Structure 1
């Protein structure tokens, strides 16, 4: 049977230099965005350069295939899904083309990410001020398509107010520069378009003035009011009509953008932040109209639901706690910005005075320093993902979230809409742009059951309220699939007919993102839902216990029912996978850990979101019958290094490392183990033998022919040196300090025990110097206890569980009498706090997890408790360069290393801002992954190390990290325990 569109795929592959993706899994990954919808595209092309873009458009036009231009794919209304050829500009079409600092303008390609552009502009004292919350991943092309706004639109306006021009390709293949109408050529296609659009607009001018909302946040339909001759031009300070402004907010339905010319603004020299705590949500809404009179640059809402969910997130908890006074029902983040710091501080004082005058004295938490402000803004920017972190079938659903109303009606509108939610047995989550009357509100609905019916009824009643208060139904995120049918309602049939005429003028064959803005489907058309009524999860038997995700949540009370029954394990796993809401936070690559493989590939397949979508499609049977053992899953997870960066960096807590274990176990069950997997898994069992004969084993790398054969047989990278063994620390004679009054158990892992024995020796000496009696994780005549990490990574879950059981049996007597379990290797010790909890070992596993900590965590806790009578002396080094292990970052366990290093006098500590080192256990040793491993290391870690001075010592707690540093730079890094040992008196 001939594959659909095979001729199209063949021609694109032949004539383009970029990527052409028509396989089922790739199309599935591009079938969703951050909305509730899913439509499988015809295919996907990723143009490498502008000529590629032209080729793709020409071929699609010849084939009569629809086109859908896409950036980060983070649209929340379904703008970037459709049965079309998707053109992804984000990977390569992301350059800065021209820059004029004097004119404060820049020309960029559509795939450039907002935060990357602003980082590029910062040295020039400029920025692009449409600062949307997804700025770390969203592209300027996508922002233009949606007419994005951002937190500071009260001062800077929307996207349309900050665009000077655009180069675009039209449906007939013609192209040109869309700019100020009075500067267009007197003849030609663009002049013709401008005059015909002017005629359309003038023909419905009375209806435009009557039906276009008078609020700033109005982004629905087409911007026909650029030609409203009887009113000041709404989008340009000089009142000049600009044809580019018709493209802004058009959602790719009129043309495909090549380049965009942006108006820039000076960076404010100073910012201060006041967090106003409110006892009721109504007061927060009511008082906003008074707060804006102080001329803030932003007023952003965080409601009680978002506060509670932030407190549950280990990354956000310490930040949000500093902003709270008691238990407020809502807080407003009020920012003042400008050139004079004292003026901003005065504004902050006036905010406090205003709140006192309004009856809320002492309700403002002042944050004048930039670090605290940034941390809190990061929490606010993660608002959508935080909201979506609710476990269970009910999720906050986007469809009325961008309604905008005048501020004087904001409190009444939100109160009445809340009453609507209650009538349907649900609650709404509220956050975002109080300053301009645009609140992101999402009622909690179960789209698998009765959510679609409730969505329709709630939308109808919300629209009535918007009309009552003369607001805008679409106030920020565009129309797409969920608000497209409301365009005619908002603007009236006459204007809607004018929109259709504009669409036919630009795109007579309806090939550019059809079904958006005009002639759209119903918002609740089940054919386009990601979870339609027929959605089912295929039966699987997971190796972990996922019941915690299989919950029901009462939308009104927030209470969760007990976890789902054990006879439905598939559902819990599926619900955990579906925690990914496609918002694309994992696409960032300038900070944090997530996602190292995406950082080096820029490939959707090797992205946390792409992997989660692959798993969701597999678990619902949409990619065939192979399930988790299939090739699609293997390929998607191939470059996942199990760093757990997503466990912490992803605000919804998607833990791809655990999913990879599930997939690896399924594949091993179906296809068995390779020799390499068997060797990796059994490392704890053959390490004692290798250590006993270490002279012979360590000499293998010195015999080239033998080394090559072994590496070839095991499919190890020839560039790597084989592990070197170093005795048996736990097999040595150890005499505990009988006089010590306090106890601790040092959990020595396989790697430190057999390969780097100096590390546990150093740790033991430091602990004993602090007055602790040190027990070790070995019993006479038995193999040392093991976390089972190597079995997990090789898919041998039964053996990993057996190791966990053996470890629990041996350690529980210590745990019961309050002895802390202290580990050196992050990936091993933290397995006791993570995977052990999902084996079904109940209270014992939880007790061990609470008692287990890393070496430096233990020291910090002991000092805070007054139980660490140690003073350290200076060492020969003046500087430390610290690289945190990925699992340490995932568990917020890097700060304790920084703290203990600060105890050494005269030591300057620098923490490298790095993602995964790339070694990741056996990953970097594997021949097929060596290149990716080194690319990960070269992102930031190795370049930073190469800048180290001679008086700098490198610290890395991870065995793999130290090996990667040695292989990649020739430098030796040490465990923090050895550095502390050197500093002992």
Structure 2
């Protein structure tokens, strides 16, 4: 049989046939066909350590497209690889094949039977989307994996996914009722219960042949198949074993669909999957058990499970520490801790009787006292705090991967499963193994079923591969000693494929090969998985082989903070390198993306608006990071960050900074975009539009003096359209309106003496020349609160600017110069303890972000600590008892609040909600939205106008249209207010204006 390591027919000699293949696919399919180098590179990786460039990528628009793609590939004898979200951790979804991405269009609910509690879905359906749809019916699909926001049902079926609550609900295979799949020869099969298959049908023939194989090797099945719930290696040949201690079907019936579960797409390509649903528990309680030692957590799990919990999940000290470093997770994890535990267990009880669940929680507290750990449980009976903590646990993989430096936790023995009575001893011995090789493991996940995710920290660029092999061999011997399963959750793929024969023996391995031959005689379905796999440490398939290098370049920011070394045993980090290490640091920052796809989510939050609008891997934080990594390592040519591939990948990035906060590994695509724009500007120059956008702070004083002329131009369609066409601005957008100069009409506080309460109001370009009413309102509110208000007036010089317009247009040096000028002016105030308060989030928050990256040292840090958004300052002063602000009814009953992306990224939206809550009689409702889509000049640009509106239509504009006519719309961002006006016809105001109206 052809293995993954031997495919000469698809090497260099295939270049011409590939062109013909792409042409035919494009001609006959309605969906997307992607054969360019950058697109193939984005699909060359998943969440594993491997990288294999595919033949090409197709994204079928409907089921007919799927069949056409498979027919064409079969005619060309090109392998195919069906792929969902690409979150596999063992390399299941990478290969030298035609990748079929089902996520964009093959994601529909086909049938639903509430009474029978079943649903039929297409393979690209995302688990969280399905459960959100099912919730009104009181049902859910309970295989709740940590990647539920992005993983697809098809991918879960391929991997036989399990999830946190498998102790109660079982694995994927226990919750599937049927599968419709296209076989390798094009036959459309319907797999279900064997006793219901039509007489003489192809499906019945296959069932008889598989059963014959199973009966022949029945003794080996009973001897070698692990007797644990978490066993997902090989093919599920034991489904025909009537003595199976863990039956796949609750009624004991044999279902041929269960053979495809966990087959990693090697037996058929799913069209539709029929799922068994479960009633959604109405009541949940959570007990967080804190353990002084890791051993105790492992040893006592066996007693905790006897209480009948729905989930028992582990979080170890390493993950706790990493979560505490993440601003989004820190306040959540702190509530779960008692002192400094070495590990915590999340123990959940669920059902429909709240009193019963509270009793179970009480029993947990009593049990821990009996076991010698009284007072070790943090009780969480409320749903909101439970969800927040579960979200941290679900982000476990990404939290682990947030370690900076070359050494990373590597997945290869991640989910070995052992019986609970051996769990403590197994983890202790495996830790000894890690220590022997100068590393440590990070532990988390499913303690209740004896499956712990553990990743030794290895540097794959150096000696990681050798250590991986030796650790795997020692770990496997421990698994065999404790009669466990080497692959307990995440499947085989490339990483564990070679261990299938070790786990099951030669007889069963040959039986698996027979099954593969039966379903796919030409080895065209995801070859090299399950059977005839390459070695786990075959360096040709590593994402970071020893030969991996980055190209020389000179970044504009100092990235040396990412170039750290970490002692794997102590966890201590050596100081970051010097500025000379910035090039390597940039590459390391890009490589913080571990491909887990958290950015593919569509639920609340900011990340990632362009992907939400397009559902295109190219316009996704992960897709962009992969493109940057390929570029920085020279795999997409030698132009580096100035290349067209980078420009295209970042084209729809709106620099919302959502990834900076919401990506658990801290990938900051907005900062990467600044690097890329600067490199592009250096190599290719600037367009007239770029110069106009960047230089706005310089010509704004002039434009404000001729606002009448600008108004006349806008009212004259011929002139306005000519200007917009010249600048490549969308004709649908109104040109910016310059209305005056707020700072020119005001003066600074007269006294230079230190007052009891004083503040500097930083009035940015937009609020100075376009919306001076916001600055006026903020000044009045601050004065009403008893503050002496200084303004950033520069006598005889043009007003100060944060430099953001320069950054967005690639003019880095000018941006840095503006930041330096601003810093010099503000430092005298900062030095004497005066807060710097701003109105425009993108401007003020630059002082807490980009200013720190220019190399300005302690001055920049001091300014960052003194810089507040208007509402942040009010809340801080209020907490300190320094805000005697009297407010009355504003005239509005409801305020509909839209947060600027940077407010969300810096956790600065809650202060807006708080100050609005001070207004008597005002109900505050926050719109759950991502980026508004305007993003500075982005929404003005002709080529981005449509994408801009798509982003706004995701949730923002529909929410505004549904709002009451008398509700006030609040948005602090200048761009946000413009987008709301253009998209809905309604005016939004800055929070300062609303507070001014409410001044008593």
Note whether the superposition's TM-score is higher than 0.5.
yes
1:63 equivalent in structure 2: 76
Equivalent of 2:862 in 838, 847, 852? 847
Equivalent of 2:789 in 755, 769, 774? 774
2:843 equivalent in structure 1: 828
SS of residue matched to 1:699: helix
How far did residue 698 of structure 1 move?
2.2
SS of residue matched to 1:284: helix
Q: Counterparts in 2 of 1:850-889, with a 5 A limit?
A: 850-889=865-904
How far did residue 172 of structure 1 move?
1.2
Quick check: 1:892 aligned with 2:895?
no
2:977 equivalent in structure 1: 962
Equivalent of 1:594 in 598, 607, 632? 607
2:924 equivalent in structure 1: 909
1:801 equivalent in structure 2: 816
1:715 equivalent in structure 2: 728
Alpha carbons 1:232, 1:239 under 8 Å: kept: no
User: How far apart in 2 are the matches of 1:720 and 1:444?
Assistant: 52
User: How far apart in 2 are the matches of 1:689 and 1:749?
Assistant: 16
Q: Counterparts in 2 of 1:321-470, with a 5 A limit?
A: 321-470=334-483
Are residues 4 and 453 of structure 1, via their aligned partners in 2, closer, same or farther at CA, if it must alter by over 3 Å?
farther
1:786 equivalent in structure 2: 801
How far did residue 173 of structure 1 move?
1.2
Q: Counterparts in 2 of 1:147-162, with a 5 A limit?
A: 147-162=160-175
Q: Counterparts in 2 of 1:243-258, with a 5 A limit?
A: 243-258=256-271
User: How far apart in 2 are the matches of 1:210 and 1:368?
Assistant: 44
Equivalent of 2:958 in 943, 957, 971? 943
How far did residue 3 of structure 1 move?
4.5
Quick check: 1:934 aligned with 2:949?
yes
1:626 equivalent in structure 2: 639
User: How far apart in 2 are the matches of 1:641 and 1:230?
Assistant: 58
User: How far apart in 1 are the matches of 2:455 and 2:181?
Assistant: 35
User: How far apart in 1 are the matches of 2:716 and 2:182?
Assistant: 62
How far did residue 950 of structure 1 move?
2.6
How far did residue 733 of structure 1 move?
2.9
Alpha carbons 1:233, 1:240 under 8 Å: kept: no
CA-to-aligned-CA distance 1:351-370 (integer Å, 9 cap, x gap)? 10000111111111111010
SS of residue matched to 1:880: strand
User: How far apart in 2 are the matches of 1:727 and 1:211?
Assistant: 81
Uncovered stretches (5+) of structure 1, i.e. residues with no partner: none
User: How far apart in 2 are the matches of 1:937 and 1:14?
Assistant: 33
SS of residue matched to 1:484: coil
CA-to-aligned-CA distance 1:162-195 (integer Å, 9 cap, x gap)? 0000001111111211010011111132111111
Are residues 100 and 450 of structure 1, via their aligned partners in 2, closer, same or farther at CA, if it must alter by over 3 Å?
same
CA-to-aligned-CA distance 1:472-531 (integer Å, 9 cap, x gap)? 000000000100000011011111111111111111111110100101000000000000
User: How far apart in 1 are the matches of 2:425 and 2:157?
Assistant: 32
Alpha carbons 1:737, 1:768 under 8 Å: kept: no
User: How far apart in 2 are the matches of 1:172 and 1:968?
Assistant: 50
1:811 equivalent in structure 2: 826
SS of residue matched to 1:774: strand
Are residues 3 and 642 of structure 1, via their aligned partners in 2, closer, same or farther at CA, if it must alter by over 3 Å?
farther
SS of residue matched to 1:5: helix
SS of residue matched to 1:542: coil
Equivalent of 2:56 in 43, 53, 57? 43
CA-to-aligned-CA distance 1:950-974 (integer Å, 9 cap, x gap)? 3210000000000000011110100
2:509 equivalent in structure 1: 496
SS of residue matched to 1:568: helix
2:86 equivalent in structure 1: 73
SS of residue matched to 2:403: coil
State the TM-score, normalizing by the size of structure 2.
0.98
CA-to-aligned-CA distance 1:614-639 (integer Å, 9 cap, x gap)? 00000000001111101100000000
Uncovered stretches (5+) of structure 2, i.e. residues with no partner: 1-12
Alpha carbons 2:748, 2:791 under 8 Å: kept: no
Are residues 297 and 966 of structure 1, via their aligned partners in 2, closer, same or farther at CA, if it must alter by over 3 Å?
same
Quick check: 1:656 aligned with 2:666?
no
Q: Counterparts in 2 of 1:102-501, with a 5 A limit?
A: 102-231=115-244, 234-501=247-514
User: How far apart in 1 are the matches of 2:576 and 2:766?
Assistant: 37
CA-to-aligned-CA distance 1:186-222 (integer Å, 9 cap, x gap)? 1132111111110111111011000000010000000
The total of aligned residue pairs comes to 985
2:558 equivalent in structure 1: 545
User: How far apart in 1 are the matches of 2:802 and 2:246?
Assistant: 67
CA-to-aligned-CA distance 1:607-664 (integer Å, 9 cap, x gap)? 0000000000000000011111011000000000000111111111111001111111
User: How far apart in 1 are the matches of 2:767 and 2:692?
Assistant: 18
State the TM-score, normalizing by the size of structure 1.
0.99
Quick check: 1:697 aligned with 2:690?
no
How far did residue 229 of structure 1 move?
3.4
